[in-house]
């Protein structure tokens, strides 16, 4: 699934009252997770704390 398709699906599942900030935050989290999975497809070596730090920055 392409990045565009993932983003459209995610936004499509959100409630009508979602704010632009909430949409942007969700897409940012998705982008970080996708980048991390591409760099490390087996999911090894990334501490949860490190992932949360990257998402929050």
Q: Which DSSP helix (H) or strand (E) runs through 15? A: none
Could you give the 3-state DSSP secondary structure of residue 11? helix
Residue 29: HSE in the Cβ half-sphere, 13 Å Cα cutoff: 9
Contact of 51 with 36, CB cutoff 8 Å: yes
| Measured CA distances, 36 to 25, 31, 56, 57 (Å) | 17, 9, 14, 15
The pLDDT score that the predictor gives to residue 41 is 67
Domain definitions of the chain by residue range: 3-56
User: pLDDT 10s per residue in the chain (57 long)?
Assistant: 889 999 999 999 999 999 999 999 999 999 988 888 888 767 666 677 776 777 776
């Amino acid at each position: 699934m392409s990045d565009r398709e993932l983003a459209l699906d995610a936004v499509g599942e959100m409630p009508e009252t979602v704010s632009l900030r909430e949409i942007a935050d969700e897409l940012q989290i998705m982008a970080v997770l996708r980048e991390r999975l591409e760099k490390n497809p087996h999911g090894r070596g990334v501490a949860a704390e490190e992932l949360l730090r990257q998402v929050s920055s």
